[in-house]
Amino acid sequence: MAKPTIALVGGGQIGATIAQLAAQRILGHVVLYDVVEGLPQGKTLDLAEAAPIVNFDLRISGGNDISCIAGADIVVVTAGIARKPGMRRADLIEVNSRIMTSVAAGIKEHAPDAIVIVLSNPLDAMVTLCQRITGFPPQRVIGMAGVLDSARFASFIAWELGVSVRDINAMVLGGHGDAMVPIVRFANVNGIPAMDLLTRKYDGDRAKAQQVMNDLVTRTQNAGGEVVELLKTGSAFYSPAASAVAMVEAVLNDQKRLLPVCALLNGEFGVNGYYVGVPCILGARGIEQIVEFDLTEEEQRMFDHSVDAVKKLVDSL
């Protein structure tokens, strides 16, 4: 059976890492597009030459003309600039809107049936722009942020509790900004509430456990910035690439995974007409269902606050 084609629009840190992960997992043929002359060709030549060692029989190619993505089944967009220390994601909106406007038109023309996963920041605004310009059904234009934010929250909980990250469930909703909403109530270790385990760790002192959890929540909200401050020249890329690949795999293998992704809401969670991170079922048709559940009063207050930040950004487009 023919393998699908994965097109990566943007061949920088994240795009190239996605190419490597996708090839190693033999998810499909890979095509890398970037505006920098020689960069996508050089990176894909290098990657293709690893095939005899890693064992993948795939077509891996790169180009500087967006027509090279023609026929792609799935397109992942990371084109754009990344922030540097002292910047907010929102500061990227002007430059990245211009880039998104051009690449989204190219995707519409050359990959009209593709499912598109957007990573470029500020994420909630860039995925909105991408959907508006392509005019694709919102089920086929999806933002990646919640998978990453949730992985970070899960990592911090695992490190604090001294357990394997594999046993943690954690979910972060809302916009991809400092007001994102880690749902503490759902954080658990193979079903055991993380707060209960934290309380035991601190000898039954629930207030101390709450304070520690609040710190994990704050660290999660600032996790992107924490990496930016350390790297100084750009932002996180290993974990964002791994997150995007999990979404690509869910779509290409029709896995029906329930993942927090950035979806266009139509009344769900009280939001109308904005892209926000919520739990969705991801499968071959893209977002196959937005999964609603009741937020507590406090969660709803935090969610609304996060959505307000998204609205401000999107309304400035």
Ligand X SMILES: O=C([O-])CC(=O)C(=O)O
Catalytic residue ranges: 176
Helix (H, G, I), strand (E, B) or coil at 180: coil
The strand order across the sheet containing 286-290 reads: 60-63, 29-33, 5-9, 74-77, 115-118, 141-143, 257-266, 272-283, 286-290
As a whole number of Å, the CA-based R_g of the chain is 19
Binding partner of 225, given ligand X, ligand NAI, none, CB within 5-8 angstroms per partner class? ligand X
Pairing of strands 272-283, 257-266: antiparallel
Q: Which of 309, 291, 311, 90 is nearest to 183 (CA)?
A: 291
115 binds ligand NAI (CB under 6 A): no
145 binds ligand NAI (CB under 6 A): yes
CB nearer to ligand NAI: give 36 or 165: 36
Q: Which stretch binds ligand NAI (CB under 6 A): 54-62, 117-125, 164-172, 272-280?
A: 117-125
Binding partner of 228, given ligand X, ligand NAI, none, CB within 5-8 angstroms per partner class? ligand X
Binding partner of 13, given ligand NAI, ligand X, none, CB within 5-8 angstroms per partner class? ligand NAI
Q: What are the residues binding ligand X (CB under 6 A)?
A: 82-83, 89, 121, 148, 176, 224-225, 227-228, 235-236, 240
CA distance 17 to 233: 17
For the bound state, the minimum distance from the C-beta of residue 177 to ligand NAI, rounded and expressed in Å, comes to 11
**For residue 28, how far is the Cα from the chain centroid?**
19
Pairing of strands 188-189, 192-193: antiparallel
Binding partner of 99, given ligand X, ligand NAI, none, CB within 5-8 angstroms per partner class? ligand NAI
Q: Which of 80, 174, 277, 286 binds ligand NAI (CB under 6 A)?
A: 80
The dihedrals phi and psi of 204, each to the nearest 5 degrees, come to 85, 5
Which residues are annotated binding-site positions for NAD(+)? 10-15, 34, 96, 119-121
63 binds ligand NAI (CB under 6 A): no
Q: Which of 56, 156, 237, 269 binds ligand NAI (CB under 6 A)?
A: 237
Helix (H, G, I), strand (E, B) or coil at 281: strand
**For residue 71, how far is the Cα from the chain centroid?**
23
With the C-alpha atoms ordered 186, 188, 191, 196, is the resulting torsion angle positive or negative? negative
CB nearer to ligand NAI: give 14 or 194: 14
Query: Which residue's entry shows tokens 């139509």?
Result: 266
Q: Which of 121, 128, 131, 220 binds ligand NAI (CB under 6 A)?
A: 121
- Point out which residues bind ligand NAI (CB under 6 A): 9-15, 33-36, 78-83, 92, 96, 99, 102-103, 119-121, 123, 144-145, 148, 176, 234-237, 240
